[in-house]
Amino acid sequence: MLVGYGPRGGSGIRSRRRPPAPRPAPSAPAPSRPEPGSRPLATPPVRKLAKDRGIDLREVPPTGAGGVVTRADVEAFTAVPEPAPEPAARPAGESRGDTRVTVRGVRKATAEAMVASAFTAPHVTLWLTVDVTRSVKLLRRLKADPELAGLSVSPLLLAARAVVLALRRHPYLNARWDGAAGEIVQLGAVHLGIAVATPRGLLVPSLKDADRLTSLADLARGLTALAATAREGRATPRDLSGGTFTITNVGVFGVDGGTPILNPGEAGILGLGQVRERPWVHRGTVRPRWVTELTLSIDHRVVDGEQGGRFLADVGAVLEHPERLLTWG
């Protein structure tokens, strides 16, 4: 076969052959399915595996040489892919970004106590708005008194003293309900509970025998120490139990008032709102006066509306005319 051009061999010029074109490397034959109706190619162990798993080998795509179905083919055919994990279902009413906080310790105990109180004692709440301008002026003078230096001198101090004086005049609010005996127990000592916001939650330590602290200085020392003990986490079980009447000072949060829930076992709780200037009719003329809102919740099993109203009016009278701290003391 002629593969080149030029003179023949005797001319002194050697002929050259064109090199043959490279042949492509042989590739492995692609797996193929057996013809329809034909018996699939597989070894006996693979056939047994397919039979045990209830698989028709004709449905299994072969990957072995010459279209042989391998054990791996059967296992891949029967493998059930794991479903992608579904996102945890959110409880009804919750959406993305919501956070759940585990309730434990003081907050859990407080929640349980408030539920027990709200659904055991029939609550009645009374409101009274009071002009406390004279009390505000008195507090300014007391803060300058060296005897009260370093102590908490605030509207709470005067409210606590007003409550103690009013409880002397209306002892039926310093009481508790004894359902088992069917009796109202009027208590001889006033253990004044003060609601304190702490890092652990709301605590209500009680100032024992608050009715025996006859001076404002003694009462201020007792209240200051009580609040510090609670906030620093040093309150003892005795501090946190045995209260007979409670004051919650929501005014420190800039709140005018609310409906306080009774501390379990007590017949009354007084809410003290923020003291702020308002237009007020004073001696026939509208003037800016310092005003606060008092709210009293009572256990209606122990105290009726008239008794609660008289008590609240007396607390308001002391705060409106603080000279009664002396005349009623």
Shared-domain flag, residues 285 and 154: yes
Shared-domain flag, residues 142 and 58: no
- The average pLDDT across 264-285 equals 96
**Strands 245-248, 192-194: parallel, antiparallel or unpaired by DSSP?**
parallel
Q: Which of 185, 293, 189, 295 is nearest to 247 (CA)?
A: 295
Shared-domain flag, residues 281 and 322: yes
As a whole number, the mean pLDDT across the chain is: 86
Between 58 and 264, name the one with better pLDDT: 264
Check residue 74 and give its pLDDT.
Answer: 81
Q: Dump pLDDT digits (tens) for 210-264.
A: 999 989 999 999 999 999 999 999 999 999 999 999 999 999 999 999 999 999 9
Among the residue ranges 7-11, 35-39, 301-305, 315-319, the one predicted with the least confidence is 7-11
On the question of pLDDT at 63 being above 90, the answer is no
On the question of pLDDT at 8 being above 60, the answer is no
Query: What is the percent of the chain where pLDDT is above 90?
Result: 60
Q: Dump pLDDT digits (tens) for 277-294.
A: 999 999 999 999 999 999
CB-based contact 178:184 (threshold 8 Å): yes
Check residue 18 and give its pLDDT.
Answer: 56
Distance separating alpha carbons of residues 302 and 129, to the nearest angstrom: 24
* CATH code, domain with 151: 3.30.559.10
Shared-domain flag, residues 114 and 63: no
Please report whether residue 137 resides in a domain. Answer: yes
Distance separating alpha carbons of residues 290 and 295, to the nearest angstrom: 17
Q: Dump pLDDT digits (tens) for 179-222.
A: 999 999 999 999 999 999 988 888 999 999 999 998 999 999 99
Please report whether residue 8 resides in a domain. Answer: no
3-state SS of the chain? CCCCCCCCHHHCCCCCCCCCCCCCCCCCCCCCCCCCCCCCEECHHHHHHHHHCCCCHHHCCCCCHHHEECHHHHHHHHCCCCCCCCCCCCCCCCCCCCCCCCCCHHHHHHHHHHHHHHCCCCEEEEEEEEECHHHHHHHHHHHCCHHHCCCCCCHHHHHHHHHHHHHHHCHHHCEEEECCCCEEEECCCCCEEECEEECCEEECCEECCHHHCCCHHHHHHHHHHHHHHHHCCCCCCCCCCCCCEEEECHHHHCCCCCCCCCCCCCCEEEEECCCEEEEEEECCEEEEEEEEEEEEEEECCCCCHHHHHHHHHHHHHHHHCCCHHHHCC
- Count CB-CB contacts under 10 A for residue 60: 21
Shared-domain flag, residues 292 and 154: yes
Q: Dump pLDDT digits (tens) for 147-161.
A: 999 999 999 999 999
Q: Dump pLDDT digits (tens) for 71-112.
A: 888 888 776 555 656 666 667 777 777 888 888 777 788 888
* CATH code, domain with 49: 4.10.320.10
On the question of pLDDT at 60 being above 90, the answer is no
Q: Which amino acid is at 78?
A: T
Shared-domain flag, residues 70 and 201: no
Shared-domain flag, residues 48 and 133: no
The residue count for the chain: 329
On the question of pLDDT at 138 being above 80, the answer is yes
Pick the catalytic residue from 123, 191, 282, 300: 300
Tell me, yes or no, if the pTM score tops 0.85. no
Identify the band that residue 6 occupies on the pLDDT scale cut at 50, 70 and 90. Answer: very low
- The average pLDDT across 43-65 equals 84
Shared-domain flag, residues 135 and 191: yes
Residue 282 falls in the annotated catalytic set: no
Shared-domain flag, residues 225 and 269: yes
**Given the structure tokens 């809410």, which residue do they identify?**
271
Shared-domain flag, residues 124 and 226: yes
Conformational region of residue 217, where left means phi above 0, alpha means psi within -120 to 50, and beta covers everything else = alpha
**Strands 245-248, 268-272: parallel, antiparallel or unpaired by DSSP?**
parallel
Shared-domain flag, residues 51 and 183: no
CB-based contact 113:298 (threshold 8 Å): no
Check residue 118 and give its pLDDT.
Answer: 84
On the question of pLDDT at 268 being above 50, the answer is yes
Which residues constitute the domain of residue 52? Answer: 36-78
